[in-house]
Amino acid sequence: MIETPAQQNLQTQPSDSKQQRLVRRAIRRKSFATLATVSPTGKAHVAGVIYCALDDELWVHTMLSSHKVRNIANNPSIGVCIVYRRLPVGPPFTIHFQAKASIVEIDSIQAKDRIATGKLKSITGHGALEIEGACFLQIRPGSSIHSFGPGVPTLDLIKDPIGSGGRSVRM
């Protein structure tokens, strides 16, 4: 019996704990993602955001008047996709997941504690905290995170990008 590249690749997949470490590390090291929300009328909205990874959450600085905040106020279920280039050729790597988002006021205890300890420094520079109507989004990923690229041997990605690149891991 001849194995397909995807079946052969099952032997080279990292363990769940290794894949979890790879995905968590990539999320921590990156800072740009796209965030997808849905309006009350069912229209999709996708926006690029700068994020800060804290523990198992992502934090985003934004405006209370933004589409994403208005949509999240109506429906906290969102989609997140982190796209980054790791290899000079081939498709970029991705990490994508469904999540729940909360709107956090700038002057809330939750935000003030993180600001005081410098944990949100990467997203609060350039006067972000002084902007009228600013807020944060606190994003909690669901239990399953999907990826394309992290943990896949480079040669497998080159030989069979469609069959070898995808991974899912429970977090």
Q: What is the CATH number of the domain that holds 154?
A: 2.30.110.10
Q: What is the pLDDT of residue 79?
A: 98
Q: For the segment 45-80, what is each residue's pLDDT rounded down to a tens digit? A: 999 999 999 989 999 999 999 999 999 999 999 999
Contact at 8 Å (CB) between 71 and 114?
A: no
Q: For the segment 96-131, what is each residue's pLDDT rounded down to a tens digit? A: 999 999 999 999 999 999 999 999 999 998 888 889
Q: For the segment 4-44, what is each residue's pLDDT rounded down to a tens digit? A: 444 444 445 667 888 899 999 999 999 999 999 999 999 99
Which structural domain range is residue 150 located in? 5-170
Number of domains in the chain: 1
pTM: 0.86
What are the structure tokens assigned to 100, written together?
């729940």
Question: Is pLDDT above 90 for 135?
Answer: yes
Q: What is the pLDDT of residue 13?
A: 60
Of 145, 135, 137, nearest in space to 27 by CA: 145
Rounded to 5 degrees, φ, ψ at 80 are -130, 140
What gap in Å lies between CA 113 and CA 109, rounded to an integer? 6
